[in-house]
Amino acid sequence: MSAQIISGKEVAAAVKARIRNEVAELAERGREVGLATLLVGDDPASHIYVGYKHKDAESVGIKSIDISLPETATQEDVLGVIDELNSRPDVTGMIVQLPLPSGLNDEAAVERVLPTKDADGLHPFNLGRLLLGQPGPLPATPSGIMTMLDYYGIDVAGKIAVVVGRSFLVGRPMALMLGTKGTDATVIQAHSRTPDLPAICRQADILIAAVGRPGMFDATYVKPGAVVIDVGTNRTDDGLVGDVAFDEVSRVASAISPVPGGVGPMTRASLLTNTVRLASSD
């Protein structure tokens, strides 16, 4: 068996075409859409990722606002910039690039962003709305994964979904979104302390790997015919690789997302979606 490739690039292109039209419609109504990013420090991977975000924004007509602070920035410096961006009418969506440098508080920075400008969908207010099944900006990576599954016609209702990882960025909101009423997967949330993890993963019709360990998930973790979504983005001497041993698992799974070109483009597309929806809701 050769697995179908779930291309985040293909899905992101379709999402951006829709967003481009929505941004144009908002412009006709006199509403500018602006996405701001705050990057602290000199991490090369973060610089590359933020650059992709701005390129994506500009490609669909969204104003791009790029703010950088040095590695020596204090927590007060970070919060002050967030306050300034909160007050700017041309900023309709905002992202604090995580993780922040050592010594700075990620959670405090995320909570300082106004929920109505939360392009990442990570503010506690918006996560609470997700828990309650109420509308609001959704966490970007899990939202992107749901869009990918829908685009490729992968029905999750009644399926067993195993989410490996429990971060507030991906794992926990992913499990919520898969199990919500109307989506209706049966969700198992696994993690580093789950006994016999390969056996748990082999129960999955849909396996979401989000642990940050290159190549950890080999064929022994995958039920034949399962759908495998690889969230890992691990920089190695061989380049960017995922959490899944792609070549091996692609011979077992029915569908698999690659790294790169899988979840990453959809995370960025979801940020644009949130930004436009927040602009539309004003």
Q: Which residues are catalytic?
A: 53, 97, 120
Provide the sign of the torsion angle of the four alpha carbons 190, 192, 194, 200, taken in this order.
positive
29-67 exposure pattern, b = at least 16 Cβ within 10 A, e = fewer? eeeebbbbbbbbbebeebeebbeebbebbeebbbbebeb
CA distance 236 to 49: 16
Q: Facing residues of 239 across strands?
A: 236
Q: Facing residues of 65 across strands?
A: 36
Of 39, 52, 57, 38, residue with least CA distance to 279: 57
What are the CA-CA distances from residue 32 to residues 35, 45, 63, 75, 181 (Å)? 10, 29, 8, 30, 35
What lies within 8 Å, CB to CB, of 58 at 6+ separation is 64
